[in-house]
Structure 1
């Protein structure tokens, strides 16, 4: 399979996930409102300070990936704003990466093989 690419406008809510092509890697917004990356079915990364507060994850047009709470306030972000055209890749190697429009990585979970 291949990595899954998610562009601006992509969003997930509770109990949804962005999944790599093979299904090996999942970036899931859990029912407990925590954003967790699973690799081979095991948690490998979680968004810092987000547990119990996340409501919707958005891949934004400014290049930022942001987790918002129920009041639409950000509780976690990739910090990649200012990169119009950037996209999120959930990769078969177990990593989630934000790439700028030229294909250079600008943020990652650093959980790949």
Structure 2
């Protein structure tokens, strides 16, 4: 298996997840509206100040990954806007990373092996 790449336009809603190729890593928008990265079925990271507010996670064309509430207001972001062509990778090593279009990392959960 290999890392799973998610480009602009990808989005998930409640009870959905973006999963690495080997299934070891899940970036899940939980039913309680919290955005959590699971590594080996254990929580390893959560979006700061997102709990109970998240409704939709979007990978945007400006390079930002944003969690929106029910009113479409941002409650958490990777703060990587201004990087057109950037993409999110949920990696087999337990990390989630936003890479710029040249393949350089610009944000990460820092949960990889």
Tell me if both proteins adopt one fold, taking TM over 0.5 as the criterion.
Answer: yes
TM-score, scaled relative to structure 2: 1.00
How far does residue 6 in structure 1 lie from its aligned partner after superposition?
A: 0.0
Deviation string 1:49-90 (CA, Å, 9 cap, x unpaired) is 000000000000000000000000000000000000000000
Runs (4 or more) in structure 1 with deviation over 4 Å come to: none
Alignment partner, residue 108 of structure 2: 108
* Equivalent residue runs for 1:48-67 within 5 Å: 48-67=48-67
Partners of 1:69 and 1:97 lie apart in 2 by 22
Alpha-carbon RMSD: 0.1
Q: Which runs of 5+ in 2 are unaligned?
A: none
Alignment partner, residue 41 of structure 2: 41
Partners of 1:3 and 1:9 lie apart in 2 by 18
Deviation string 1:6-34 (CA, Å, 9 cap, x unpaired) is 00000000000000000000000000000
Matched, 1:29 2:29: yes
Q: Which runs of 5+ in 1 are unaligned?
A: none
Aligned pair count?
Answer: 113
Matched, 1:83 2:83: yes
TM-score, scaled relative to structure 1: 1.00
